[in-house]
Amino acid sequence: MGDPSATPPPELPLPSARVLLVGVLALVAVVFLPTLWFGFVYDDHWTLLANGFLRCPEELALLLQPEATARHVPDASRPVAVAFDVLSVQLLGARPVPHHVLSLALHVGCTAALAWWLRRRGVAAIDTAVVAAIFGTLAIHAEVVAVVSYREDLLACGLGLLAMIAADAAARDGTTGRARALALGATAGLAALACGAKLSAVTLGVIWPVTARLGPGSPLPRWRAPTVALLLGTALALAQQQHVLGGLSPYEAQAGIHAAGFSRAAVLAASVQIHLGYVQQMLLPLGLSPEYVDAPGSWRDAATLMGAAGFGLALAHAIAVRRSRPLWTAVAITTVLAWLPTANLVPMPNMRADRFAYGPSVLVAVGLGAALLSAGRALAQRVGVPAARLAPALAFVVLQGAFAQTAASAYKNDARLWEVALQRAPESARAHALLGELAIATLRRGGEDEGDPVVWARAQAHCLRALALAPGDALPHLCAARLAVARKQWSAAHASFEAALDRARAREDRILMALASVTLDVPELPYAERIARVDALLARALREFPYASEVAAAGGRLLHRLGRPAQALALYQRARKLRPERWDVALWGLELALDLGDAAAALTLWERGEDLWSEADPKLVDAARSRVYDAQRLFADSPPLEPLPLIDLLPELPPDHDLR
């Protein structure tokens, strides 16, 4: 991958290519091994835990229809990623450790696919190992590996690399007839799958031809047909996107995107600085953060002008030296192409995120590997020590790996995540709002923080700061509403929930149900009007968010409070299907049985829910246990007020289950 005219370096005894690759993959796994014990954070709660669609594998075909968008299936614009999540949840359940193992395995798999691609291109084993080690340990990958719901980037990258490997096979002179047809079909199919995982892969059809002509490795002679196959696969994915969403961008219909409030020129000026930051973070991993504050830029800013000039000069130089330094040309052009989908050419919810660098970093790693190996060859020649050839690359990998572990630690749990986020981005309204909600949650759970004036003050301060920073966003108003609920200020909570709903651009389901819940307690409203409003809000939520477990669970609780047991049971059953690990729904079903005087059903539910009670609030479990035993003692022979199939809420225990 270096300059072919350079003096051959001193010989360095090396293990076989297979041993080298296994060693590199083990190193990558070790660097991110601590993430296996992390919890669920960020969008994990929405796209994995609360996403009931993942519990409905029989409805997978819905992803190919516009109805998926109408029913608010999370990430319906990424059908391959959603299908993968359906499979993973069915196999792994909702425990974080297995999902983190899967994310790490996908990252290691992407590293292996990169090594495979380079080896198939004829790149030397040691060069391949260096590039793979650089890619696998880049600290900027901490976010995408540590956050389970971001494995869409891992899938898109892995499938994209496999598509390029298939395209390489179809482009070789020795591939003819049926083998070439199969390779071309695989190329198109894998490209479609990559784009179906995430649309950041749409530039595959223009990236691969550049690498086929300029490197890494030897030029591929028959590049036109594979290019057509890649473009065909991309076109199929875009056509499916257009059919399901009614547009090419999943954010076209999402009103209120923050960046859309800036002029296009200001957004693009900021994007220049953002991408300059990505390059800096790959070279020297400083400034990595779980949170960035979107802000407009200006074409008069020195950073914008210097960044644009630097990118332009680098690209011009790469094109000018395409004959003498084809690899540099390929890396420069393909990196620019790979970043186009996330370059803020269209409004996106986040202008910047570390995960946007995952796919482009494949190409950056190739360039970094070549540069570090070239420096190592020069060093080895100078000092006369063959091992010095790898010194720059090893130093870089050690540096990146150390920073990667440090950066990943920010994603250990939600509390740590948002504390770090606020340190890195003090003006983030989202960080303030979510830290406020976390503080309020500790107050609701009770314990030693219950009634602590410091915790109350901290929660209020975060909510007020969030409102001051972003009064037009939903999250600050949601924080204020939660605080009002904790204080039992129902009218204030109602007003804040309504303000949050008016400003929400996505995920309105939890706001709708919270608003419905507090509406029942607003003293200023006549009771009949409260009931009517609750019914309207619940009907809307059930209609628009049929796969949201929170809608079914909270809706069942509301109907339970309103004295509609049959309807409440139906929603509890739906909530159990959409998220069976929720202990609160099982406990509410038990309470429903007790309220109806069905002592036998209550005892059965108590015994069947044994595994869930260990996760539940001990105070609630103790109260339920007392009620169950009191019902057995006092009402065992009394008929229930309304016979309902309550025991269907929880599955049968295995015959050999030992009830403790």
Q: What is the pLDDT of residues 484-499, one digit of tens each?
A: 999 999 999 999 999 9
Instruction: With respect to residue 348, please indicate whether it lies within any of the assigned structural domains.
Output: yes
Task: Let me know: does 207 contact 334? Beta carbons within 8 Å.
Answer: yes
Buried b (16+ CB within 10 A) or exposed e, 71-104: bbbbbbbbbbbbbbbbebbeeeebebeebbebbb
The alpha carbon of 308 is separated from its chain's Cα centroid by a whole number of angstroms, namely: 30
CA distances from 351 to 106, 167, 275, 286, 635 (A): 25, 32, 10, 19, 61
> Of the given ranges (266-275, 303-312, 516-525, 645-654), which has the lowest mean pLDDT?
645-654
Task: Let me know: does 272 contact 308? Beta carbons within 8 Å.
Answer: yes
- Total structural domains within the chain: 2
Of 410, 443, 458, the last residue of a domain is 410
- Taking phi over 0 as left and psi of -120 to 50 as alpha, with beta for the rest, 597 belongs to left
Q: What is the pLDDT of residues 302-317, one digit of tens each?
A: 999 999 999 999 999 9
Percentage of the chain exceeding pLDDT 70:
94
The pLDDT-based confidence of 346 (bands split at 50, 70, 90) is confident
Of 410, 436, 469, the last residue of a domain is 410
- The confidence score (pLDDT) of residue 13 equals 65
- Containing H/E element for 525? none
pLDDT exceeds cutoff 90 at 339: yes
DSSP line for 567-625:
HHHHHHHHHHHH-TT-HHHHHHHHHHHHHTT-HHHHHHHHHHTHHHHTTS-HHHHHHHH
The pLDDT-based confidence of 12 (bands split at 50, 70, 90) is low
Q: Other C-beta atoms within 10 Å of 315: how many?
A: 15
Contacts with 61 (C-beta within 8 Å, 6 or more apart), sequence order = none
Percentage of the chain exceeding pLDDT 90:
75
Instruction: With respect to residue 183, please indicate whether it lies within any of the assigned structural domains.
Output: yes
Instruction: With respect to residue 611, please indicate whether it lies within any of the assigned structural domains.
Output: yes
Instruction: With respect to residue 502, please indicate whether it lies within any of the assigned structural domains.
Output: no
Q: What is the pLDDT of residues 381-439, one digit of tens each?
A: 998 888 889 999 999 999 999 999 999 999 999 999 999 999 999 999 999 999 999 99
Of 410, 434, 460, the last residue of a domain is 410
- The confidence score (pLDDT) of residue 4 equals 44
Instruction: With respect to residue 265, please indicate whether it lies within any of the assigned structural domains.
Output: yes
- The confidence score (pLDDT) of residue 446 equals 56
Q: What is the pLDDT of residues 75-94, one digit of tens each?
A: 988 999 999 999 999 999 99
Q: How far apart are CA 154 and CA 38, in angstroms?
A: 18
The alpha carbon of 504 is separated from its chain's Cα centroid by a whole number of angstroms, namely: 20
pLDDT exceeds cutoff 60 at 449: no
- The confidence score (pLDDT) of residue 11 equals 58
- The confidence score (pLDDT) of residue 649 equals 86
CA distances from 349 to 55, 206, 207, 441 (A): 27, 26, 26, 26
- The confidence score (pLDDT) of residue 172 equals 87
- The confidence score (pLDDT) of residue 660 equals 30
pLDDT exceeds cutoff 50 at 5: no
Instruction: With respect to residue 568, please indicate whether it lies within any of the assigned structural domains.
Output: no
Q: Taking all residues of the chain, what is their mean pLDDT, rounded to a whole number?
A: 90
CA atoms within 13 A on the CB side of 298: 3
Which two structure tokens, joined as six digits, stand for 370? 């070549």
**Average pLDDT in the 473-485 region?**
95
Rg (CA), the chain: 28
Instruction: With respect to residue 402, please indicate whether it lies within any of the assigned structural domains.
Output: yes
Which two structure tokens, joined as six digits, stand for 465? 């700061």
- The confidence score (pLDDT) of residue 658 equals 38
> Of the given ranges (268-282, 337-351, 388-402), which has the lowest mean pLDDT?
337-351
pLDDT exceeds cutoff 90 at 644: no
Helical ranges in 284-386 per DSSP H:
302-320, 326-339, 360-383
The pLDDT-based confidence of 1 (bands split at 50, 70, 90) is low
- The confidence score (pLDDT) of residue 450 equals 59
The pLDDT-based confidence of 173 (bands split at 50, 70, 90) is confident
The pLDDT-based confidence of 656 (bands split at 50, 70, 90) is very low
pLDDT exceeds cutoff 90 at 103: yes
Instruction: With respect to residue 513, please indicate whether it lies within any of the assigned structural domains.
Output: no
**Average pLDDT in the 207-236 region?**
93
Helical ranges in 172-223 per DSSP H:
177-197, 204-214
Whether the bond into 216 is cis, omega within 30 of 0? yes
Instruction: Please tell me whether residue 90 adopts helix, strand or coil conformation.
Output: helix
Domain boundaries, position 644: 582-660
Q: How far apart are CA 578 and CA 509, in angstroms?
A: 14
- The confidence score (pLDDT) of residue 100 equals 97
Instruction: Please tell me whether residue 315 adopts helix, strand or coil conformation.
Output: helix
DSSP line for 346-368:
S--S-S--GGGGTTHHHHHHHHH
The pLDDT-based confidence of 659 (bands split at 50, 70, 90) is very low
**Average pLDDT in the 460-470 region?**
95
Q: How far apart are CA 660 and CA 657, in angstroms?
A: 9
Q: What is the pLDDT of residues 28-47, one digit of tens each?
A: 999 999 999 999 998 999 89
Q: How far apart are CA 302 and CA 250, in angstroms?
A: 33
